A and B are shown apart, each in its own frame.
Chain A
């Protein structure tokens, strides 16, 4: 089984092109900046949409506003991008910060798991999604059988937490914790591979 994803951002074409556009934008190149904003717009919209869905908010509940806030924050804080660092983690970190702000302002409850951790996982999936191919089976091999089964239901088959709980017989909080731990393990594995590949 193959999915879009990569153990190394360094090999990602998106990462290379976007960071180059950002470097040019920092020197005042408006054309490169426009190109950058147009390209990241779609990536951010998808990230925001996934985050809204994860927290039970439907489309049209302010996603466009959040997208514009994130683009504005990227513009205002563009001097904080260090060209020696990766661009995508910088961009998603800003998006996460603004999403947390938005959820808190709108008093969205997010019991059981930390909002920041959850968004970080969605962000890592988004980064994986924007990079080259990786063998999913090999990646999932680091997980326990239970983690693999639950993660497949929630993240690949797209079941809700409630549906996954009914299907497996585990409690909803058990499903949440299992997904959280599985994603954390994957995140560490990806980081480890990234360090090895540098």
Chain B
């Protein structure tokens, strides 16, 4: 086909389109929808028995806030990368890793004051179940948000995929904080944060490269 013919075809029956949402609007809108899905899933299945009491503790809110922040910030980056020509992607990506490092440091500081017995206990208690719940709930919201991100034009499918994985960890982290009653810092660090982060990051990089290409 000649380029002139292609241009004629493209301009025939042109339909209006809606301009893209700002990254902050995308992050807030779909982040809130993701959180609603998470709360719905956890409430429908099995919230922790001491949920109401735990919400009286500042520590629970810190965890919920940190994971929600990771979710919103990651979604913002995914939207940012989905608009061709928008500058500042690398800086934004660095700030996501800075946020992750900060979250990891906060968790590590909590570990410093713990005894050796508590540390090994934290590694043992029903950890795989927590990691499974976090990654499963994260995957559900991750796929939902990936579907929305696919409608953009991601200029960095690999990194967008990895960051989508981080967003899933944020959603999964909120879920697991509402589901798991353990307050052991080691348990939270390994099974709620580190392992899901690794699994979802790798899964996001594989899935993102495939589904975000256009």
Contact = CB atoms under 8 A, between A and B. Distances in A.
Interface of A: 25-30, 33-34, 37-38, 41, 64, 67-68, 71-73, 75-83, 85-86, 88-94, 97, 191
A71 B85 contact: no
A191 B1 CA distance: 39
A37 B7 contact: yes
A71 B8 CA distance: 12
Interface of B: 1, 3, 6-8, 10-20, 22, 82-87, 151-153, 155, 214
Contact of B17 (A67, A79, A85, A91): A79
B6 A72 contact: yes
11 contacts: A30-B14, A37-B10, A38-B7, A71-B10, A80-B152, A82-B19, A85-B86, A91-B85, A92-B85, A94-B153, A97-B84
Contacts of A94: 84-85, 153
B18 to A, nearest CB: 6
Contacts of A25: 14
Main SS class of interface, B:
loop
Contacts of B152: 77, 80
Contacts of A93: 84-85, 155
Contact of A85 (B6, B8, B16, B85): B85
A140 to B, nearest CB: 24
A41 B14 CA distance: 18
B19 A83 contact: yes
Residue among B8, B11, B20 having the largest count of chain A Cβ atoms under 10 Å? B11
Contacts of B87: 89, 191
